[in-house]
Structures are given as structure tokens and as C-alpha cells.
Structure 1
Amino acid sequence: MNIKQWPDEQKPREKLLRQGARTLDNAELLAIFLRTGVVGCNVVDLARLLLKEFGSLRALFEADIAQFTAHQGLGPAKYVQLQAVLEMSRRYLAETLERSNALESPQAVRDFLKAQLRHEPHEIFACLFLDAKHRVITFESLFYGTIDSASVYPRQVVRRALANNAAAVILTHNHPSGVAEPSQADKMITEKIRDALALVDVRVLDHFIVGSGEPYSMLENGWIS
């Protein structure tokens, strides 16, 4: 059935306006983004088909342009629109975090780090530099590739902390495998950086590992004393 023939309460756009975006499922949200279906398939059915083909909404978001446009109903214009939406979301989360005390907004920190790192196909080690009131100064990606003691240099973290006049740091890196459990190498790196920063009176507040679910806090789980 053509979506125009549906009752208003079932149409995604009308449902969003009446009940709010949170009441829509992934297919309905994706249908609003797609706007139109294809011959023989209305936009909601197309959205459901795409979610089945990709496996998840996240997989669709993380697809490169070749993977994205290989699917029916998705072209370069839609890919560009999606990337713009994702980047606006990241910037919104960054602005939200910058207006608050990072320690008083742990969920805002987690949401920001997920948006920054969860989609990356390779490991990235980054720092969230904070002022004396634990407000965000800046976020910087510092090291790329396999994150171990040979590839992460505490001196560089210290150098960037001083350059940003930071009083505290939240460390973070991603696990592209999706498993956010820390390794012994993660603990060693954290301890080396913490000790190096202590020499210049900069505190390491936490080290978050970003996987497929909620970021893992090494502080909350007793890995940082």
C-alpha cells in the first residue's frame, strides 16, 4: 500500500510530530531520512529492507560510499546528506559537553566519545583536555593504529596538556572489535601517562574504552586508583 493511503497516526512524519521522535522505530526514522521509496516498495518497507541488508542502523551509518550506494534507493546524494547529519550530531554533542562540567555530566562524556570514536575502523588514542573546573578545553586524537606501550608516547600527551593549559585529562581509545574490556597494555599505558602528567600537576580523571556498547570506564571499574 502506498504510504499516502496510511492513516495519519501510522505515517512516520505525522507520528513524529504528534508523539515525538523517540516513539519511532529505526525503520520509521530511516524512512523520514530517505523521504521516498522505489518502484514497488514504499519508503518504510525500503527502510526495513535496508536495515536487514546492512544488519543494523549503525552498520548503515558506518558504510563507506561504495558500500552505501551499492544498495537500492541509496545514491551519492543520500550518502552526502547522511554524513552531514552525522557530523552535525557530533558537533551538537561537543557543544553540549563544552557547556558543562565533564565530571557532572558523565553521560554527556560517554555520548561524545561514542560519536567521536565508535565508527572508526582503526584504533585511535585521544585526550579530552579539561580546565581547573573540569570544563572541556578541547578534544584531540593523538595516536593511530595498534594502541600499545610502543605506539603511545606519554611525552606527547604531556606536551599537548601543557599547550592547552589543561588541569585534567580524560584519556580514551576505541576497540574496533566492539569489545570494550581493557587489556593489561591499556592499564600500563594509563599508569605511564598518569605518572608523567603528575609531574606537571595534571590529573588523569578517567580512561574510557569505546566499543560497540557504552564506553567502559577504567575508573569506575577499579583500573585507576
Structure 2
Amino acid sequence: MIRAMIVDDDALVRLGLTDLLDSDENIEVVAQATDGLHAVELATAHHVDVALVDVRMPRMDGITATTRLRALPNPPKIITLTTFDLDEYVYNALAAGADGFLLKDTAPAEILRAVHLVASGSAMLHPTAARRLIDRYHRTTRPGSAEAQSHVAALTPREQDVLARLAEGDTNADIAQRLGMRESTVKSHVSRILTTLDVTNRVQAALLARDAGLTR
């Protein structure tokens, strides 16, 4: 069972997302927060696997909340869910440690899929936002290729193969099939990759891999 938290200052949005998530027999909404500060309080009091977090909220916005949530002893996976398809929001959310970024007009089935993917350790980005992030905003604001290359160079050749596939958005199952490995072995590689690259999730690892020129 995936324990979820909805973080949004709009009561109707919270209600709609709660109804959607509760329609999945493998997801349980255990908390609803009205802003980022409230989210941190609830995540401290409840075990939360995945939090869907709005960006623009009073008291504490979603970007700051993501940073605070990721710093908890048992941090939830985080999907930033917003009305605003702005590059800066996407990048800042991922830099803060979000595992996914979706627009609120995303199809309900895709939102449910995102929760399952993120809970399993994968990442989920709205396709348009992801492509623009990689092709334009990220490349112009964080060149850092030399530093990125030095981090990637610390990986074994096999780990670099896994990282290259991860940067293309492949799931662990996809990587296992493409590289002829067991899925459990892929998970072990991904865990070491995150540690070696000093990043908190697959999305940040993928961005660093692209900075290093490991993939396009």
C-alpha cells in the first residue's frame, strides 16, 4: 500500500486528488496539507511514501517544502503538481529533490501511474517540461560539465551504462531488459550511482549525466 499526502492550498484540488488516489486500491491518502509548512508537520507525524506538492502556496511554497521534506529522517518521494508549466519551476523543484513534475491537467491515469512509478524508485516528468528542461533551461543555467564528468568518471563502466539508460527515462525493468541484467542488480547499481554522484534521486542523476555528456 502506497501512503500518499496531498499538499495544495485549494480545497477543491485536494478533494479531487484525494478522490482520484483513493480510487486506486493500492494507494491510501493519509494526509492533506494546506501549505508547505503544514506538509512538513504532517509528514513528521505520519509515514508518507509519496507527496503530491503544489508549487505556489502561502506561508511556505512547494519548492521550499520539497527541500524540507527531503531533509526528514524518512523522506517521502515527491511529485510536484502545478498549473504553471514554467521552466524555472521545473528546474527548481527537481534541484530541491522532487522525483517528478506533472501539470494539474495531466490525465488521471497518468497521475496514478506517476505515483506508482515514483513510489517504486523511478522518476516521472511531464514530457514537454522534461524536454525543455534538458534542452534549454538546464543546459544554460548549469553547465558544470567538467565537474559532472569527474563525478561520472568515478562510476564503473557498467554503472555508466546503467546511468545512461536511467538518463533516457528507463525504469529498472527497462534497464534490466536492455542490458541483460537482473532487476535486483539494476537496483543495486542505481543505489551506488546515487551515492557516488552525491544526488538524492534518479532525476538529479539523469540531469548530471546529461551535463557530463553521457547521453543526449
Please give the TM-score of this superposition, normalised by the length of structure 1: 0.30
Which structure would you say has the larger RCO, counting Cα contacts within 8 Å and 6 or more residues apart?
2
Structure (1/2) with the larger helix percentage: 2
Greater gyration radius: 1
